[in-house]
């Protein structure tokens, strides 16, 4: 029986990955800070290991006896910029270092982000060979994590997967699109340009992660080499406005009104949200850092490489996946 460690299993993607691994007969360990959040998975047979990315002793224990480590734990938003770099950068280094200390290190699959590579240029989707150019603090922290695992690539067989926007059942960030369209019939779009975006449903991403861990190539350790790095995305590349209109269609709305908001207003909203987050000491998905990404232009990537090297194929069209997600939100009474 194969054995895997999943960090970040209490998160949106990690939770779906752990369930899929269990369904494939894999013995799964989950590194968690709060085991109470994993009651459902625990009942399914997951082994819970208390630990933290910044607690090296807990990581040394967690990586024992597994064949592969899926590293998803990290921060997508934070009140303090330093927290992003500490968790996504140093925390990832600690995971890789823990693996390197073993006599027979497990393979490591790092879930990074398109933000680590940066926006795409013009109408061309980004490919793995393109020069990286992150524009946000989040993107730079994820890139720091990538560079960290490259330092151990000669000791730990490592693969990196960079997803774009991820949607699916249980996601609270993209849910805001669905909620606004359902309630008001509008889709707020930053700026007035029709930039293109890539998306992927969480089930398809999980499939890509498992295939990359099993069949993908490994990092060489050189920062300028794309070997062992993959983008994973759906086939469709849509404008931000088209994403909203497709969600509206999946929700059964005849018309979804696209509201273009000037970028200066996006920046102002992000600044106000950051000030409120500082007062509450609780980060928000709306922030100056996300405004940087919104203002950067297109965020599209090509999955051609992971398709050709691992056989990855999205199971359904993006429209079918968005309808599946909308149905789940309704079933769970989120909408």
Q: How many residues does the chain have?
A: 335
Instruction: Please check whether residue 282 lies inside any domain of the structure.
Output: no
pLDDT at 298: 95
pLDDT at 37: 62
CATH number, domain of 117, equals 3.40.50.720
Model pLDDT for residues 186-198, shown as the tens digit of each residue: 999 999 988 999 9
Q: Are 324 and 316 within 8 A, CB to CB? A: yes
Q: Which domain holds residue 226?
A: 3-164+200-233+300-315
* Separation between Cα atoms, residue 88 and residue 73, nearest integer Å: 8
pLDDT at 274: 87
Residues 6 or more apart whose CB falls under 8 angstroms from that of 103 comprise: none
pLDDT at 35: 66
Beta strand 3-7 pairing with 27-32: parallel
Instruction: Please check whether residue 16 lies inside any domain of the structure.
Output: yes
pLDDT at 34: 72
Model pLDDT for residues 96-132, shown as the tens digit of each residue: 999 999 999 999 999 999 999 999 987 789 999 999 9
Instruction: Please check whether residue 252 lies inside any domain of the structure.
Output: no
The mean per-residue pLDDT over the stretch 314-318 comes to 97
pLDDT at 179: 96
pLDDT at 36: 64
Residue 164 confidence (pLDDT) above 90: yes
CB atoms within 10 A of CB 45: 9
**Residue 68: φ, ψ to 5°:** -145, 145
pTM, 2 dp: 0.96
Instruction: Please check whether residue 23 lies inside any domain of the structure.
Output: yes
Residue 333 confidence (pLDDT) above 80: yes
pLDDT at 38: 67
Instruction: Please check whether residue 263 lies inside any domain of the structure.
Output: no
The mean per-residue pLDDT over the stretch 163-180 comes to 95
Under the banding of pLDDT at 50, 70 and 90, the label for residue 328 is: very high
Instruction: Please check whether residue 239 lies inside any domain of the structure.
Output: no
* Separation between Cα atoms, residue 231 and residue 249, nearest integer Å: 27
The mean per-residue pLDDT over the stretch 250-270 comes to 93
Of the candidates 75, 82, 56, the residue with the CA atom closest to the CA atom of residue 10: 75
Residue 10 confidence (pLDDT) above 80: yes
Of 223 and 306, the one with more pLDDT: 306
* Separation between Cα atoms, residue 238 and residue 114, nearest integer Å: 16
Mean pLDDT (the chain) is: 94
Residue 131 burial (CB < 10 Å; 0-12/13-18/19+)? exposed
Q: Are 43 and 80 within 8 A, CB to CB? A: no
In order of 12, 19, 133, 321, 323, the CA distances from 318 in angstroms are 18, 22, 27, 5, 9
* Separation between Cα atoms, residue 75 and residue 203, nearest integer Å: 21
Model pLDDT for residues 219-238, shown as the tens digit of each residue: 999 988 999 999 999 999 99
* Separation between Cα atoms, residue 119 and residue 155, nearest integer Å: 31
* Separation between Cα atoms, residue 46 and residue 145, nearest integer Å: 26
pLDDT at 166: 98
The mean per-residue pLDDT over the stretch 159-179 comes to 96
In order of 71, 115, 119, the CA distances from 196 in angstroms are 28, 15, 10
Positive or negative, the CA dihedral 20, 22, 25, 26 is positive
Instruction: Please check whether residue 83 lies inside any domain of the structure.
Output: yes
Instruction: Please check whether residue 253 lies inside any domain of the structure.
Output: no
Model pLDDT for residues 239-259, shown as the tens digit of each residue: 999 999 999 999 999 899 999
Q: How many domains does the chain have?
A: 1
């Amino acid at each position: 029986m194969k054995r895997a460690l999943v960090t970040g299993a209490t998160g949106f993607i990690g939770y779906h990955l752990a369930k899929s691994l269990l369904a494939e007969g894999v013995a799964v360990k989950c590194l968690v800070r709060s085991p109470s959040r994993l009651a459902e998975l625990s009942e399914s047979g997951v082994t819970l290991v208390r630990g933290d990315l910044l607690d090296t002793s807990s990581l040394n224990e967690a990586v024992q006896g597994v064949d592969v480590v899926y590293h998803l734990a990290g921060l997508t938003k934070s009140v303090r910029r330093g927290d992003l770099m500490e968790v996504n950068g140093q925390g990832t280094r600690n995971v890789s270092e823990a693996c390197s200390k073993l006599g027979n290190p497990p393979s490591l699959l790092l879930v990074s982000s398109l933000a680590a590579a940066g926006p795409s240029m013009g109408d061309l989707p980004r490919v793995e060979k393109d020069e990286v150019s992150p524009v946000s603090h989040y993107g730079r922290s994820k890139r720091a994590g990538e560079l960290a695992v490259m330092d151990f690539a000669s000791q730990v067989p490592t693969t990196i997967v960079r997803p774009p926007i991820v949607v699916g059942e249980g996601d609270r960030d993209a849910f805001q699109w669905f909620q606004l369209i359902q309630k008001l019939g509008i889709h707020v779009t930053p700026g007035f340009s029709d930039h293109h975006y890539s998306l992927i449903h969480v089930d398809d991403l999980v499939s890509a992660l498992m295939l990359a861990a099993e069949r993908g190539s490994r990092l060489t350790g050189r920062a300028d080499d794309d070997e062992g790095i993959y983008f994973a995305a759906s086939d469709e590349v849509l404008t931000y406005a088209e994403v909203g209109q497709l969600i509206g269609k999946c929700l059964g709305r005849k018309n979804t009104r696209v509201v273009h908001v000037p970028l200066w207003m996006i920046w102002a909203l992000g600044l106000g949200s950051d000030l409120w987050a500082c007062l509450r000491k609780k980060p928000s998905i709306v922030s100056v850092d996300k405004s940087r990404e919104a203002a950067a232009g297109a965020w599209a990537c090509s999955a051609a490489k992971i398709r050709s090297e691992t056989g990855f194929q999205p199971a359904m069209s993006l429209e079918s996946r968005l309808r599946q997600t909308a149905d789940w939100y309704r079933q769970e009474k989120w909408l």
